[in-house]
Amino acid sequence: MVSKGPIFGLDGSLTSKPFSLAFDHISRELSRRFPSQTIRIIVSGGTCSVLYHKNRESTKDIDFFIPDPEVIEAISSCQETLPRHLKQLWPENWVNAEMAGFAMMPNCEGLYENSIANDVVLYRSEALLAYAADWKFQLIGKIMRAYQMALLKDQMQSRDRGKKDLTDAISLLDLLIKENGGPLDRSAIRSWYNGSAIEDAEIDYVNAAFQERFRFIPIL
């Protein structure tokens, strides 16, 4: 069970509630729907940033995936069973399976199994295990999103997100470089999941930000 870390408020700011409240609520609902089972989900984005990378203080949602539509529905419906006083504090759609659209793209078929095998557990209870989605999968998405937000820097969506995606991409790169023992090869990244869609301009943008911070080119 996660004992530390903030939960989110309407604007994504900190509240007095610990992050574990969200997972605890999901766990209780799953234990009712699927008694004597342990449901294994994978999560990405802000949840990993807050609980693992610790490069952010808050996030607005828990984005999860499991290749089981019944479980997706059960977890998504936890929003409706949230206690009334918490509904007033937490944003709409605080738990969602938006990442499913990416997890089911061509070449992403192994994402769920790979993430479970990596065994980076963010939350644990008898009814629920939440694993971090494979860092390689997350890096691809963050590189693309960071560049997209840079292009849209004058639009509201980008201003709202700030440089969260770039910060996440840098954290993921730092982790994967340490695992690799050196810089990553862009051709290798393009072989990961849906990485074939990554353009040189997107890689170069994140490279520049990483190099400015660490004086090191992360992707060759």
Q: Tens digit of pLDDT for each residue in 187-204?
A: 999 999 999 999 999 999
Domain final residue pick, 133, 154, 183: 133
Cα dihedral 119/188/199/219 (nearest 10): 90
Residues 83 and 24 in one domain: yes
Domain final residue pick, 84, 101, 133: 133
Residues 96 and 126 in one domain: yes
For residue 163, is it within any domain? Answer: yes
Percent of the chain with pLDDT over 90: 73
CA angle 180, 181, 182 (to 5 degrees): 90
Residues 128 and 145 in one domain: no
So what's the pLDDT on residue 6?
Answer: 46
Residues 10 and 92 in one domain: yes
For residue 219, is it within any domain? Answer: no
Residues 54 and 159 in one domain: no
Tell me the C-alpha distance between 205 and 200, whole Å. 9
Backbone angles phi, psi at 93, to 5 degrees: 60, 35
Residues 75 and 174 in one domain: no
Q: For residue 100, what are the domain limits?
A: 6-133
Of 95, 96, 181, 199, nearest to 144 by C-alpha is 199
Where does the pLDDT of residue 157 fall: very low under 50, low under 70, confident under 90, or very high at 90 and above? low
Tell me the C-alpha distance between 72 and 136, whole Å. 23
For residue 1, is it within any domain? Answer: no
DSSP secondary structure code for residue 217 in this structure: -
Residues 153 and 100 in one domain: no
Domain final residue pick, 74, 101, 133: 133
Cβ-in-10-Å burial (0-12, 13-18, 19+) of 76 comes to middle
For residue 101, is it within any domain? Answer: yes
For residue 18, pLDDT over 80 is answered with no
What is the domain count for the chain?
A: 2
For residue 83, is it within any domain? Answer: yes
Residues 45 and 81 in one domain: yes
**Alpha helices by DSSP H, 55-185:** 69-76, 84-87, 100-103, 111-118, 135-151, 156-161, 164-180
> What is the phi-psi region of residue 53: left when phi exceeds 0, alpha when psi lies from -120 to 50, beta otherwise?
alpha
Where does the pLDDT of residue 4 fall: very low under 50, low under 70, confident under 90, or very high at 90 and above? very low
Where does the pLDDT of residue 17 fall: very low under 50, low under 70, confident under 90, or very high at 90 and above? low
What would the pLDDT profile of 45-64 be if each residue is shown by its tens digit?
989 998 999 998 888 889 99
Residues 29 and 41 in one domain: yes
* Stated pTM of the model: 0.90
